[in-house]
Amino acid sequence: MLSARRNRLLTMLLGLALLLVASGCAQAPAAPTAQDAAKAVQQAAPTVAAAAQQAAPTVAAAVQQAAPTVAAAAKAAAVQPAAPAAGPGRGKGDQLKVLYWQAPTILNAHLAAGTKDYHAASVVLEPLAWIGPDGKPTPALAAEIPTRENGGVSADGKTVTWKLKPDVKWSDGSDFTADDVVFTWQYVSDPKTASTNARFMENVEKAEAVDKNTVKVTFKKASPNPYEAFVSANNVILQKKQFQDYMGEKAKDAPGNLKPIGTGPYKVREFKPGDVVVYDLNENYRDPARPFFKEVQIKGGGDATSAARAVFQTGDADYAWNLQVPWTVMQPLVNAGKGEAVTLPSSQFERLNMNFADPNTEVNGARSEPSTKHPFLSDLKVRQALGLAIDRKQIAEQLYGAYGKWTCNVLNAPPDFVSPNTKCDPDPEKAKQLLDEAGWKVGADGIREKDGKKLKVLFQTSVNPVRQATQELIKAAWAKIGVDAELKAVNAGVFFDSAAGNTDNIGHFYADIQMYTSGSDQPDPTNFFAQWTSPQVAAKANEWRGTNLTRYQNPAFDQIVDQLRSETDAAKRKDLIIKANDTLVNDVVMVPLVSRATPASGKAKDLKGNTPNPWDSELWDIGNWYR
């Protein structure tokens, strides 16, 4: 009987020892190591032994004999890989409803003109790496980020070698290889393609496939930023098989522009440009646990206010992008409780672009051609006067509230690169003086005139309540200095469309001044500033897809950007970056108005897994989203 009692007690005490081991392991944030498990048992054994000594010395002895065995068992269990954390699971969700009231018009990011097009394309197409929320590259199709430490970036900064993830499939089931990366470089670099992303490849001398899963990029000049090509939603990889017959001038005709084959978590089922994109789960996606949703719908149309209501008030949508809604309307919507605002400080800035070309003179069937000269905006004093008349603080506080701050600068992030040199307090009297000096005298009707012509500007932007309110404030400010403004509002789907035949889009710029938002896609702003260099001037010759929409041409500015492409000294780079910003501001190439939070978006409270990103596509991690 004593033996039976001893055995029961031994069993109980051994169970207690195992429980103590398990308890100690459960407190750890990750799976315990073998050493952790053994240590836990060793710590538990004396306590168990002491209790046993009080009950029966023979039991204590048995426990002491058993302790090493328990420790060995715990050690064996601990070295087993931890079970994966419970995740949402592939295809367990039905439909993800996303609102982009500025509807996508094309899904080939290399021919896109609007942010909404880059975002919609990024659901399907991927770069080698995204720019993460911290401003650093994070792998997408790359197996790792190349650095000097791992040998991926050469010591002289002339080459970068990308190792690709093995066994990645395109959504049609074919292999993704280094040849697709090389082809993408060839496609974007071809001047006849007229890619809106050509500036990212300007410093690339060649890209070559070392083997199936390795790409070597050689720069023309040693690059201080080895990630200038193939990184971010602007630099997605195209499938060679789908696009190789549509190089150069044929690029605009590729069926893949509307239905690209990709490597991302979803694939295109249906696309109606300017209306809706429907995506299905990509069964060939490399992560067997993702994506969660069987279907994604990006719906366009309506306006920012109705999109905000759909997330914050009615709960009819899961995510809504770019809620440029007047602050007095936005604040109570956010407080309605069904959604959450998605905001981060960013480099995005609302601004007025000045047209340096003549939008009313036709050359070879086109207007605003860079060979022409604007009749009054080519005068620096006129541009300065228009800027000095505007109260940016009033615009930011009345219309943007918590989602925007007035700014004098073109570059507003990262903070270390923001120029301290610029000033932009409103000064209507100084503006009047500058216009007087430029020869524009006030007429009987209060509008200035010169050589028999009235000082009248055509000011266009997209249809949006905040933008129309901004237009009205600016029109009133200009009227006070004798400038008449005609306001034009264009449907966003038309305004940000890249079609060569669309004369109302931002590329054609058939107006004097236009307003919209964009920003840098990387903390290194070299390619951001390259948008305003002479080679990037939009014109009929490149189907109006050049990024320099202002037609500004300044060899001194071009030289600053050229120096940025090769300068490696950190202090000198900072000086060049600030100099580039100040040149654009002082030349009044544009009038910065508001530094925006990464355009305020909204999401349903039960939508999980999304990580706000101020640098890249808002849909960069859509494969991780779940409910």
Residues 213-217 have a mean pLDDT of 98
Evaluate whether 365 touches 540 at the Cβ level (below 8 Å).
Answer: yes
- Percent over 70 (pLDDT), the chain: 86
d(CA 273, CA 100): 12
DSSP-derived letter for residue 581 is: H
Set out the domains of the chain in order of their start, with CATH numbers. 2-78 (no CATH), 127-253 (3.90.76.10), 345-520+591-597 (3.10.105.10)
Tokens of 275: 């209306």
pLDDT tens profile 302-358 = 899 999 999 999 999 999 999 988 888 988 998 888 899 988 888 999 999 999 999
Tokens of 491: 């449907």
d(CA 323, CA 597): 11
pLDDT band at 532 (very low <50, low <70, confident <90, very high): very high
Residue 87, pLDDT score: 56
pLDDT tens profile 192-203 = 999 999 999 999
DSSP secondary structure letters along 323-348: ----HHHHHHHHTTSSEEEE--EEEE
- CA quadruple 5, 7, 10, 12: dihedral positive or negative? negative
Residue 604, pLDDT score: 96
- Percent over 90 (pLDDT), the chain: 78
Residues 412-423 have a mean pLDDT of 95
- Average per-residue pLDDT for the chain: 87
Q: Is the model's pLDDT at 40 over the cut of 50?
A: no
DSSP secondary structure letters along 221-248: S--S-TTSSSBSGGGPPPPHHHHTTS-G
Least confident interval from 41-50, 466-475, 505-514: 41-50
pLDDT tens profile 236-245 = 999 999 999 9
Q: Is the model's pLDDT at 95 over the cut of 90?
A: yes
Residue 344, pLDDT score: 81
d(CA 260, CA 237): 11
d(CA 205, CA 468): 45
DSSP secondary structure letters along 81-132: PPPPPP---TT-EEEEEEE-SS----S-GGG--SHHHHHHHTTT---SEEE-
Residue 28, pLDDT score: 33
Q: Is the model's pLDDT at 37 over the cut of 60?
A: no
pLDDT tens profile 240-282 = 999 999 999 999 999 999 999 999 999 999 999 999 999 999 9
Residue 599, pLDDT score: 62
Tokens of 360: 């009313």
Tokens of 128: 């080698």
Its pTM stands at 0.78
**Token pair 């903390």 in the structure block, residue:** 523
Identify the bridge partners of residue 484 per DSSP, sorted by sequence position: 456
Residue 298 is which amino acid? I
In degrees rounded to 5, what are phi and psi of residue 174?
-80, 165
pLDDT tens profile 140-156 = 999 999 999 999 999 99
- Cis peptide upstream of residue 414 (ω within 30 degrees of 0): yes
The terminus-to-terminus CA distance of the chain in angstroms comes to 59
In 272-335, alpha helices (H): 304-312, 327-334
Q: Is the model's pLDDT at 361 over the cut of 50?
A: yes
pLDDT tens profile 565-583 = 999 999 999 999 999 999 9
Residue 346, pLDDT score: 85
Please indicate whether residue 136 or residue 61 has the higher confidence score (pLDDT): 136
Residue 58, pLDDT score: 36
